[in-house]
Structure 1
Amino acid sequence: MTDHRQCPGRRGQGELEALVLSALREADGPATGGWVQEHLGSDLAYTTVITILTRLLAKGVVTRERVGRSFAWLPVADQAGLAAHKMRRVLDNEGDRQAVLASFVTSLGPDDERLLRELLGRSRDGSRDGGED
């Protein structure tokens, strides 16, 4: 039987992904797995860093380019863009988009609802007049 208890100080997959993405955003350009491992200054094994980067690639959150015999990695978006990407993935995997969006909108607080209306208004105005202010 496998022991699934977490060791003290052990981080979950989501936390590790966030750390790796944060490191990539701090890089001056494409970063290797070794750079990410060194930048995090943690006890993460190189193979763990590569596994996390590969998972992020599968999720469409990072891209990679060949550099010699290795890869250099780049984040696709900032934190807000990443959250939006996750929201779109959830929406795309649901059969009734209208129901999902309606449920989301009705669950918003007054300030968030007002902000969403404002953003939607700006989006519509920008598409009509070419986005000029």
Structure 2
Amino acid sequence: MRVRGFGELEATVMARVWDRDPYTITVRELFDELAAERRIAYTTVMSTMDNLHAKGWLDREKDGRAYRYWAVMTREEHTASLMREALEGGGRPELVLAHFVEQMDAEASEGLRTALRRRAKRTGKPNQK
């Protein structure tokens, strides 16, 4: 599984953090999960989580002798950020958005309409036609 903006192991770590309930995890907890599936060193997991913290993707606080980590933004917020980057960097934003909307199925299209109505109510501005 590859998440845009992350290396392979970073994407795996972020996916595990995002899937976590509660939303926090220690290096040991994550290492135990990953080691059950593949060969990996504890220090590799520790340095990856530390790197994600240094890059601003994870935050942490001391929990005894360990750190407890959590994502700075949700998976959905991260995805929205990637979508914004694609919209801004993909040519003419109005055409990129139009092509994106044309590819939506009926359920996703209705979800977009609902989100736009909710935003209009929140901002007090009607949707532009």
Task: Output the TM-score relative to the length of structure 2.
Answer: 0.61
User: Which secondary structure does the structure 1 equivalent of 2:124 belong to?
Assistant: helix
% identity of equivalent residues: 26
- Deviation at 1:62? 2.6
Which one of the candidate residues 3, 13, 18 is aligned to 1:20? 13
What is the CA–CA distance in structure 2 between the aligned matches of 1:86 and 1:56, rounded to whole Å?
A: 19
| Map of 2:32 onto structure 1 | 38
What is the CA–CA distance in structure 1 between the aligned matches of 2:92 and 2:54, rounded to whole Å?
A: 28
What is the CA–CA distance in structure 2 between the aligned matches of 1:30 and 1:126, rounded to whole Å?
A: 31
Aligned positions of 1:1-133 closer than 5 A: 13-14=7-8, 16-25=9-18, 26=20, 28=22, 31-42=25-36, 43-50=39-46, 52-53=48-49, 54=51, 58=55, 61-64=57-60, 72-128=68-124
Report the residue type matching 1:41 in the other structure: A
What is the CA–CA distance in structure 1 between the aligned matches of 2:47 and 2:34, rounded to whole Å?
A: 15
Task: Output the TM-score relative to the length of structure 1.
Answer: 0.59
What is the CA–CA distance in structure 2 between the aligned matches of 1:66 and 1:91, rounded to whole Å?
A: 38
Q: Which runs of 5+ in 2 are unaligned?
A: none
- Deviation at 1:66? 7.5
What is the CA–CA distance in structure 2 between the aligned matches of 1:109 and 1:56, rounded to whole Å?
A: 37
What is the CA–CA distance in structure 2 between the aligned matches of 1:63 and 1:76, rounded to whole Å?
A: 6
- Is contact 2:52-2:58 (8 Å) kept? no
- Deviation at 1:51? 5.2
Question: Can you list the C-alpha shifts for 1:59-105, whole angstroms capped at 9, x where unaligned?
Answer: x5433468899865321233323322322232343342222212211
User: Which secondary structure does the structure 1 equivalent of 2:110 belong to?
Assistant: helix
Task: Give the root-mean-square deviation of aligned CA atoms.
Answer: 3.5
